[in-house]
Chains A and B, each alone.
Chain A
Amino acid sequence: MKLDETIALLRQGKHVSEETVFKLCLRAQELLMNEANVTHVDTPVTICGDIHGQLHDLLTLFDKSGGVEHNKYVFLGDFVDRGFYSLESFLLLLCYKLRYPDRITMIRGNHETRQITKVYGFYDEIVRKYGNSNVWRYCCEVFDYLALGAIINNRVFCVHGGLSPDVTTIQQIRAIDRKQEVPHEGAMCDLLWSDPDDVETWSLSPRGAGFLFGKNEVDQFLHTNDFELIARAHQLVMEGYKEMFAGGLVTVWSAPNYCYRCGNVAAVLRIEDTLDRNYMIFEAVPAQDDVGNAIIPSKKPQMDYFL
């Protein structure tokens, strides 16, 4: 399998054969298998939030942030579901990771599971594109091997959702057996589902999984582990990013005009060698271009409104 050819196909949103996906997923699995639950990354590095199958916006992200040829990236998960190109977005990242292993870190999001992708679009997309669900199964196998977090220069903790009442130290995350479907409760679930909020202590999450946590929990976690920042994604932010708790936590969101209807801008966060934070804001690719609408596939599912 020639990686560069597959990358070129994916960048154009073109069909990739079932066999190619199979091989790609197998190789990615072998690579991810050897990664720890929490991987270490050095600066400078660009942190990216949810992508959700918005391939054209992912390409913009790479363009505007310098590209994988010269830069390191940490993706905070939620590569798939909702957008029309979940498969292409996820595979493109896998290809980049195989091609440039030390430049791409992929963290698992709460959408990288069998149960959620069956509800939120990835499964349907695969059946639409391949006529069967094999490719979905290959990808789900890879999901099970994705890391749960990353640490930048021992000072910035990256995770998809947030904290867990079952996790005080990074050591406790390292001890999780991550190679499984995300459970409905417990540390692994919380890391992928929890949200920061204006709460005094751990509270129930309106999402039905994970917890809400407040400044106290964040301060405690940062102090215990000698971190200065938690970088997470998981929540749509209209302005692309949002710092909370005196800068101790940031939400980064990288899917502009989410679901082609929310009207938000997107952001990525570059952490410099000095640990300075630089946010880069970007907008959605316009839906129309000269050769017709490249973004919305012809066999498109409708955009959802209440009519």
Chain B
Amino acid sequence: MDRAVQQTDYDAFSCKISAIAKKYLPCQKQLELREFSDYPELHMAYAQSLKNLSRRAYGKVQKAVQSSMPLMNYGTYVRTVAVDIAIEQYINGLPKGSKVQVLNLGCGSDLRMINFMSRYPQLRWIDLDFRESVHLKAKILNSDDRFRQRLGFPAGDLSEEDYVSGRYVLHSCNLNLIEDVLEIIQEHTDPDVPTLVLTECVLCYMKFKPSQVLIDEVMSLYQTGMWLSYDPIGGETSTDRFGSIMQSNLRESRQLDLPTLMVFNSATKYAQRFKSNATSTDIRTMWQYYQTETIPQEKQRLKSLQFLDEIEELEIILSHYVLLKAFW
């Protein structure tokens, strides 16, 4: 089961590489920022290192990139940009120069810390994930000065198993074991510093109870913060079969379970799990996000990249993914 979950990282990463290769990512606004100018190069360099370390993982990425559909590129664009913008807004909303830390739970091969740490010198970033994912990522980051310079050179003994610099921590951790999580984050973060917690397709793979414990415990640890979560929702109307089909497709094709997909089957119910600790929440489906937040110039730019003959399907799928912001 853990392995099936861990494998989803290659899906996410290959989707991103595909969206970058087809020029969906980065978005126009990021492209104009100095700190994001090497976004494509960084990702391609990471993919190249992956090739040297794990042919199998790289093979998966390659295959997915070749066969990726415009719909997947659109969805990856919306997801990535929505999360990036939310991070940016959160940091910009703090007093200028204020300390801030990001806790990326289930980070996988996500590389957004690199550009964000360059953009915000006061930012500390903590990446946590399964041991196997973390070891692979640490190896790749350690092996290339382009990454090391941007993340800060690792302090102390050179370890292959994690990455700890003055501002960046990559550490292995099983999110189902709350004691482990708390021990690590207490060691590397400051409870008084405003904290952004990111879970991008993470909670959906956890069982109900451990996911709720994770949310409650982490939110109570920090004085103030924002939880940013991207996940699928099953759909709540009786005629909506998207969720149950998704569950059985993923179970059959790759033994991947989505235990709470039909429990938190609507945006409202999904937000509910953050309510007891949050002062306010904001949640919308990715379709709403695409409709309302993607500016016309960007829509025009996306349209010029590939024919999208899947608008109705895009609506169905993006309506079953949400981005939640919970503030406390």
- Asked if B70 is at the interface (CB within 8 A of a chain A CB), the reply is yes
Q: Which candidate, B86-94, B163-171, B249-257, is the interface stretch facing chain A?
A: B249-257
Q: Which candidate, B51-59, B118-126, B219-227, B307-315, is the interface stretch facing chain A?
A: B307-315
Sorting the interface of chain A by its residue count into under 10, 10 to 19, 20 to 34 or 35 or more gives 20 to 34
Which residues of chain B have C-beta atoms less than 8 A from A304's C-beta?
69, 71-72
CB distance from A135 to the nearest CB of B (A): 18
A261 and B242 in contact, given A305-B232, A307-B12 (Cβ under 8 angstroms): yes
Which residues of chain A have C-beta atoms less than 8 A from B182's C-beta?
none
Q: Which candidate, A41-49, A147-155, A204-212, A218-226, is the interface stretch facing chain B?
A: A204-212
Which residues of chain B have C-beta atoms less than 8 A from A119's C-beta?
69-70, 306-307
A46 to B261, CA, bound (A): 39
A209 and B307 in contact, given A287-B248, A307-B8 (Cβ under 8 angstroms): yes
- Asked if B177 is at the interface (CB within 8 A of a chain A CB), the reply is no
Dominant SS at the A interface? loop
Q: Which candidate, A12-20, A84-92, A173-181, A252-260, is the interface stretch facing chain B?
A: A252-260
**Contact call B316/A262, Cβ cutoff below 8 A:** yes
Q: Mark A106-150, 1 if CB is under 8 A from B, else 0.
A: 000011000110011100100000000000000000000000000
A261 and B309 in contact, given A208-B303, A304-B72, A306-B75 (Cβ under 8 angstroms): no
Which residues of chain B have C-beta atoms less than 8 A from A6's C-beta?
none
Which residue of chain B is the closest to A124 with respect to CB atoms?
A: B67
Q: Which of A208, A301, A307 has the most CB of B within 10 A?
A: A307
Which residues of chain A have C-beta atoms less than 8 A from B307's C-beta?
115-116, 119, 207-209
Which residues of chain A from 174 to 224 have any CB-CB distance to chain B below 8 Å in the complex?
A: 206-209
**Contact call B249/A263, Cβ cutoff below 8 A:** no
- Contact of A260 (CB < 8 Å), options: B64, B249, B256: B249
A65 to B144, CA, bound (A): 62
Q: Name A residues whose Cβ lies closer than 8 Å to a Cβ of B.
A: 110-111, 115-116, 119-121, 124, 206-209, 235-238, 257-263, 287, 293, 296, 300-307
Q: Which 3 A-B pairs have the closest CB atoms?
A: A263-B241, A307-B8, A236-B312
**Additional A-B contacts beyond A206-B311, A257-B245, A302-B254 (19; CB < 8 A):** A119-B306, A120-B69, A207-B307, A207-B309, A208-B307, A259-B313, A260-B249, A261-B242, A261-B317, A262-B313, A262-B316, A263-B240, A301-B67, A303-B249, A303-B250, A304-B71, A304-B72, A305-B232, A306-B11
